[in-house]
Amino acid sequence: MTTKLLVAAGQAATDPEELPVAVRELISAADEILVIAPILPGRFQWLASASDKAREQADERLQAVLGQVSGMKESGSARGAVAADDPLLAFEDAIAEFAPDHILIGLRSVERADWQERGLLDQVIQRFSIPVTVFRLTQA
């Protein structure tokens, strides 16, 4: 049976070894991986529709995570996309396109967490009947 893993990257690890062992095992076991990096503008950037810098940061985060995932995988495929600036919409779009068996959410560190993450996990769990694993990186 093919295992499809959706990875939502709010922050990239500096080194894959920073990831919890269970997270690395989940990634290694997946046959197909879709990484999404939501655009995460600050509240004022979002209100002003000035999210160019946030889009660049999302693309950098996506490339870093794809590189790390590829380094952890001996086989299987990983692809990715910069996603919507509404994290819940980003999940909806990715789930509709990819139909994952499991969702892995990497949250930003507590110091960098912002308004987009408030209540997000509850909404994802309530809306989608897909197993979810969550981890938070401790770096700033």
Parts of the chain with a pLDDT under 70: 1-2, 42-51, 74-76, 108-118, 138-140
pTM of the model: 0.85
Question: What is the distance between the alpha carbons of residues 71 and 55, in angstroms, rounded to a whole number?
Answer: 24
Q: Judge contact between 137 and 106, C-beta under 8 A.
A: yes
Is residue 136 within 8 Å of 107, Cβ to Cβ? Answer: yes
Tens-place pLDDT, residues 23-50: 999 999 999 999 999 988 765 554 555 5
pLDDT value at residue 132? 93
What pLDDT, on the 0 to 100 scale, is given for residue 73? Answer: 73
Which phi and psi angles does 76 have, rounded to 5°?
Answer: 95, 175
The three-state secondary structure class of 75 is coil
Q: Which residues of 63-100 are buried (b: 16+ CB within 10 A; e: fewer)?
A: ebbbebbeebbeebebebbbbbbebeebbbebbeebeb
Distance between CA atoms of 137 and 140, rounded to whole angstroms? Answer: 8
Q: Taking the chain, what is the end-to-end CA distance rounded to the nearest angstrom?
A: 38
